[in-house]
Amino acid sequence: MKKDEYIKISFAPNIENPKDRRFFRFLEIMPGVLTWLTLFLIIFLSWQRPVWIAIFIIVFDVYWLLKTLFFSFHQQAAFKKMKANLKADWLKKLDELPAQNWKDIYHLIIFPMYKEDVEIIRQSFKALADSKYPKDKIIVVLATEERAGEPAQKVAQAIKDEWGDKFFKFLITIHPKDIIGELAGKGSNETWAAKKVKKEIIDQLKIPYENIIVSSLDIDTQVYPYYLACVTFNYLTCKDPLHSSFQPVPIYNNNIWDAPAISRVVAMGATFWYSIQQIRSERLATFSSHSMPFKALVEMDFWPVKNVSEDSRIFWKSFLFYDGNYESVPLFYPVSMDANLANKFSKTMLNVFKQQTRWSWGIENIPYFTFGCVKNKFISWKKKVFHCFNLWEAFWSWATNSLMIFLLGWLPLFLGGEEFNRMVISYNLPRITRFLMTLAMIGLVGSAFYALRLLPPRPEKYSSKKYIWMILQWALVPITMIIFGAIPAIISQTRLMFGKYMGFWVTEKKRK
- Residue 108's domain comprises 100-344
Residue 26: inside a domain, yes or no? no
Residue with more model confidence, 409 or 460: 460
Residue 49: inside a domain, yes or no? no
Residue 11: inside a domain, yes or no? no
| 394: Cβ contacts below 8 Å, ≥ 6 apart | none
The total domain count for the chain is 1
Pairing of strands 169-175, 244-251: unpaired
The pLDDT value recorded for residue 258 is 95
Q: What is the mean pLDDT of the chain?
A: 93
Residue range 192-197: mean pLDDT, rounded: 98
For residue 276, what is the domain's CATH number?
3.90.550.10
Residue 153: inside a domain, yes or no? yes
Give 17-26's long-range contacts (Cβ < 8 A, gap of 24+): 20/371, 23/371, 23/374, 24/367, 24/371, 25/499
Would you give the DSSP letter of residue 408?
T
> CA of 477: how far to CAs of 76, 331, 453, in Å?
19, 27, 19
What are residue 336's phi and psi, to 5 degrees?
Answer: -110, 135
pLDDT tens sequence across 426-458: 878 888 887 887 777 777 777 778 888 889 999
pLDDT tens sequence across 340-358: 999 999 999 999 999 999 9
Pairing of strands 222-223, 138-145: unpaired
The pLDDT value recorded for residue 156 is 97
Asked if 77 and 279 touch (Cβ cutoff 8 Å), the reply is yes
Distance (Å, rounded) from C-alpha 102 to C-alpha 211?
9
Residue range 403-409: mean pLDDT, rounded: 81
Residue 186: inside a domain, yes or no? yes
1 has a pLDDT exceeding 90: no
The pLDDT value recorded for residue 469 is 87
The pLDDT value recorded for residue 445 is 74
Distance (Å, rounded) from C-alpha 496 to C-alpha 13?
12
Asked if 11 and 364 touch (Cβ cutoff 8 Å), the reply is yes
pLDDT tens sequence across 414-433: 888 888 788 888 878 888 88
The pLDDT value recorded for residue 291 is 98
The pLDDT value recorded for residue 283 is 93
Q: Residue type at 450?
A: Y
Asked if 398 and 491 touch (Cβ cutoff 8 Å), the reply is no
Which residue, 250, 173, 169, 152, is CA-closest to 203? 169
Which residue, 60, 49, 23, 83, is CA-closest to 417? 49
| 234: Cβ contacts below 8 Å, ≥ 6 apart | 246, 329, 331
In angstroms, the first-to-last Cα distance of the chain is 52
Residue range 266-274: mean pLDDT, rounded: 92
Question: How crowded is residue 176: how many other Cβ atoms within 10 Å of its Cβ?
Answer: 11
Residue 45: inside a domain, yes or no? no
The pLDDT value recorded for residue 508 is 86
Residue range 118-129: mean pLDDT, rounded: 97
Residue 473: inside a domain, yes or no? no
Residue 467: inside a domain, yes or no? no
pLDDT tens sequence across 326-339: 999 999 999 999 99
The pLDDT value recorded for residue 362 is 96
Is residue 253 left, alpha or beta, with left meaning phi > 0 and alpha meaning psi from -120 to 50?
alpha
325 has a pLDDT exceeding 90: yes
Distance (Å, rounded) from C-alpha 268 to C-alpha 297?
30
Q: What confidence tier does 507 reach under pLDDT thresholds 50, 70, 90?
A: confident
The pLDDT value recorded for residue 475 is 85
What are residue 131's phi and psi, to 5 degrees?
Answer: -65, 150
Question: How crowded is residue 483: how many other Cβ atoms within 10 Å of its Cβ?
Answer: 18
Would you give the DSSP letter of residue 174?
E
**SS3 state at 43:** helix
In terms of residues, how long is the chain?
A: 512
